[in-house]
Amino acid sequence: MAELQAFIFDLDGVITDTAEYHFLAWKQLGEELGIKIDREFNERLKGVSRLESLNRILALNNRETNFSLEEKEFLATKKNEHYKELIQQVTPNDLLPGIHSLLANIKSNHYKIGLASASKNAPAVIEKLQIGNFFDTIVDAATVKRSKPDPEVFLKAAEQMNVTAEACIGIEDAEAGIESIKAAGMFAVAVGTNEALRKKADMTVERTNQLKLNELIKSFQMYNDRLAKLK
């Protein structure tokens, strides 16, 4: 039976809430292009790569084929420059509730901790939050070829920590992220209230302060006991 060895966290929406900064940066670019986006639409950009997010925004005005890849990269870079300015304000106070004590608790119980983020800005955000010392590995979009829902980012984090996928718990707030964890063959924990997310995950909590180490371990063990009986 699989023995728990590591936790792999998503960044945006699980460790800190950078979604608002992504939203503000896309909104500004949208205004320059004459495309309006609101917070509701922004939900559809969570966990989605930078270029795919731009495509979804352009698709709002049926303009995704109006730009060459080079032009799209220019626009995405422009958004990113603004995003980078916005995340300068991030401090350790921006850790979501309960996350610091959860990371400390995991560490003192000798489990490994990895980060699997779709954001190329992940290392900068981790530095701003001053939590780099908790992580055994950080895998971000800059070091993988395929975006979530592909399992690559979670599998790479497990590989770099020298643990098997079955020995990991992945924690995510986006549907694409939960799909990525499940495709990697890991136990998936969702944070959020979205019904679709709940259906795809093995365990769900509504808020980060409900992520408790003993509950996560218990749930992981029950899941594996059920799997063992099925075999």
What CA–CA distance (Å, rounded) separates 145 from 153?
9
The residues in 33-52 that bind ligand BG6, with binding defined as CB under 6 A, are: 45-50
* 12 catalytic per annotation: yes
158, interface contact from ligand BG6, Mg ion, none, CB < 5-8 Å by kind: none
What minimum distance in Å lies between the beta carbon of 50 and ligand BG6?
Answer: 4
* 10 catalytic per annotation: yes
Give Rg (Cα) of the chain. 18
Q: Which two structure tokens, joined as six digits, stand for 104?
A: 């400390």
Q: Give residues in contact with Mg ion (CB under 5 A).
A: 10, 12-13, 47, 173-174
Q: 32 to each of 39, 48, 78, 83, how far by Cα in Å?
A: 18, 21, 11, 15
Q: Which helix (H) or strand (E) holds 187?
A: strand 187-191
Nearer CB in complex with Mg ion: 137/180? 180
What CA–CA distance (Å, rounded) separates 224 from 110?
20
Nearer CB in complex with ligand BG6: 59/104? 59
Q: Is 50 labelled a binding residue? A: yes
156, interface contact from Mg ion, ligand BG6, none, CB < 5-8 Å by kind: none
Report H helices in the chain.
19-33, 39-42, 50-59, 69-86, 99-108, 122-129, 152-160, 175-184, 195-200, 213-230
Residue type, 49: S
50, interface contact from Mg ion, ligand BG6, none, CB < 5-8 Å by kind: ligand BG6
Q: Is 26 labelled a binding residue? A: yes
Q: How many residues bind ligand BG6 (CB under 6 A)?
A: 17
Residues 12, 136, 140, 202: which is the catalytic one? 12
DSSP string, 114-181: EEE-S-TTHHHHHHHHT-GGG-SEEE-GGG-SS-TTSTHHHHHHHHHTT--GGGEEEEESSHHHHHHH
Say if CB 89 and CB 124 are below 8 A apart. no
Q: Is 120 labelled a binding residue? A: yes
What minimum distance in Å lies between the beta carbon of 12 and ligand BG6?
Answer: 4
Among 4, 6, 7, 12, binds ligand BG6 (CB under 6 A): 12
Binding site for ligand BG6 (CB under 6 A): 11-12, 22, 45-50, 53, 80, 117-121, 141
Known binding-site positions: 10-12, 26, 45-50, 53, 79, 117-121, 148, 172-173
Known binding-site positions for Mg(2+): 10, 12, 172-173
